[in-house]
Structure formats: C-alpha cells, structure tokens
Amino acid sequence: MLKIGDFSKLARVTIKALRYYDELGLLKPVKVDEFTGYRYYSASQLTQLYRIMALKDMGLSLEEISRLLRNNVSIDHILDLLHTKQIEQNKSWKQKQHA
C-alpha cells in the first residue's frame, strides 16, 4: 500500500485531486486509517486513475466519468460518447470563429 502522497507522486496527480475523487466515489482508497483518516492506495489502482484522467482529458465531466465507471459501460458506449463530445466541441469552436 502507498500513502496518498506517494501515490500522488507516482501518478503525477495532486493530493487534492485524489481526495476529491474519493469524495465523488471515483477512486476510493484501499484503506483509510481509522485514527488519522490517512488514505492508502494500491499500485493496482493506477489503472483506474489513468482511465479517469484520460476520460477527463477527452472532455468528459467528472459526473459523466463517474456514471460510466459506476455502470460498467462498454468501450463502444464510451467511444460513442467521446464522438458526441467531439462533435459538440467542433460546433462550439466553429461558433466562436464566426462570432
């Protein structure tokens, strides 16, 4: 198990983000010390964290990511959602150019 600070450095994400992801239920620590409240993560959780980060980088909101992960959505559905996001972003970009 890794302390939150070590996991943060390994994943190159802030401790604040990890706490927020825990609060949202996106990435729960493997263990929380009952006396100190300190969070511990497993190296195996890096895959889940990288998935969250990649989806976020692709323009999905944390709410959308949470829904996808909670419902165990298929990769095809995720790809459809990303395609829809891309279309929305292109429309927004074009509207800004013509404004």
pTM of the model: 0.76
pLDDT of 67: 86
pLDDT on residue 80: 85
Please report which residue ranges of the chain form alpha helices under DSSP H. 4-11, 15-24, 46-57, 62-70, 75-98
Phi, psi values for residue 13, rounded to 5°: -135, 150
**Strand, coil or helix: 45:** helix
pLDDT for position 99: 67
Whether the Cβ atoms of residue 20 and residue 56 lie closer than 8 Å to each other: no
42-94 per-position pLDDT tens digit:
999 999 999 899 889 888 889 988 988 888 777 788 788 888 888 888 888 88
Note whether 8 and 18 are within 8 A (CB): yes
pLDDT band at 2 (very low <50, low <70, confident <90, very high): very high
